[in-house]
Structure 1
């Protein structure tokens, strides 16, 4: 999860696609990568998603 958070954050700072960066780093599909990103958020490695209006 820390790897996922690191790759996601680095990609956002560089202006790239964070999900694509996680896919490349882990070798998983987009769907699995999104699940891993969600788990990293739940565990506090990433900030929560923007609040819905």
Structure 2
């Protein structure tokens, strides 16, 4: 759910963290943790390209 909100907000050009905050009802810090766990699970692309 959070990964879908994140990607949809990025496609619309909005702040993806705020979108996750709205969906989850969590604080910014908690939302960033949710996003990080979604990245670890492979639901989102990595932040940085590996060299």
TM-score range, shorter chain: over 0.9
Q: Which residue does 1:34 correspond to in 2?
A: 32
In structure 1, the gaps of 5 or more residues are none
Q: Which residue does 2:47 correspond to in 1?
A: 49
In structure 2, the gaps of 5 or more residues are none
Tell me the C-alpha RMSD between the 2 structures.
1.5
Structure with the greater relative contact order (CA < 8 A, sep ≥ 6): 1 or 2? 1
The TM-score normalised by the length of structure 2 is: 0.93
Q: Which residue does 2:17 correspond to in 1?
A: 19
